[in-house]
């Protein structure tokens, strides 16, 4: 069974740039996996940042961007702010109607 992989944790300095990745335990992520990215703070519902690789969801600032980097999907945050400190999840389409989330990345801004 293919697992969707994410960094368990990451840290970034305020104003800095960070790239979180979303990979597969076997194989490469391509646009055909329609990678999507979500931000979640404790006790809140997820907020969609990016879907279908690089489409920004309504109201999401352009300092959040999505791409394919090498064999992984990537979420880049530029000009990190204190309220970017959250959990970030990706999801990939595995075919046959099935979606699989990654385990999430806890981002610290310090």
Instruction: Report the interface residues with other proteins, using CB under 8 A.
Output: 34, 36, 38, 40, 45-48, 51-52, 55, 57, 87, 89, 91, 93, 96-104
Question: Smallest gap, in angstroms, from Cβ of residue 21 to other proteins?
Answer: 16
**Nearest to other proteins of 56, 69 (CB atom):** 56
Q: How many other C-beta atoms lie within 10 A of the C-beta of residue 84?
A: 18
Between 38 and 64, CB nearer to other proteins: 38
Provide CB contacts within 8 A for 77, sequence distance 6+. 12, 17, 18, 19, 20, 63, 64, 84, 107
Burial degree of 39 (CB within 10 A; 0-12, 13-18, 19+): buried
Kindly tell me which of 64 and 89 has the beta carbon lying closer to other proteins.
Answer: 89
Closest distance to other proteins from the beta carbon of 24 (Å):
16
């Amino acid at each position: 069974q293919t697992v969707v992989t994410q960094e368990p944790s990451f840290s970034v300095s305020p104003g800095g740039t960070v790239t979180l990745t979303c990979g597969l335990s076997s194989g490469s992520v391509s646009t055909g996996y329609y990678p999507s990215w979500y931000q979640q703070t404790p006790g809140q519902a997820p907020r969609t940042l990016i879907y279908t690789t690089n489409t920004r969801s309504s109201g999401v600032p352009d300092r959040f961007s999505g791409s394919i980097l090498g064999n992984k999907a990537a979420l880049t945050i530029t000009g990190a702010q204190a309220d970017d400190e959250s959990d970030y999840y990706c999801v990939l389409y595995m075919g046959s109607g099935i979606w699989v989330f990654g385990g999430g990345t806890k981002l610290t801004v310090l």
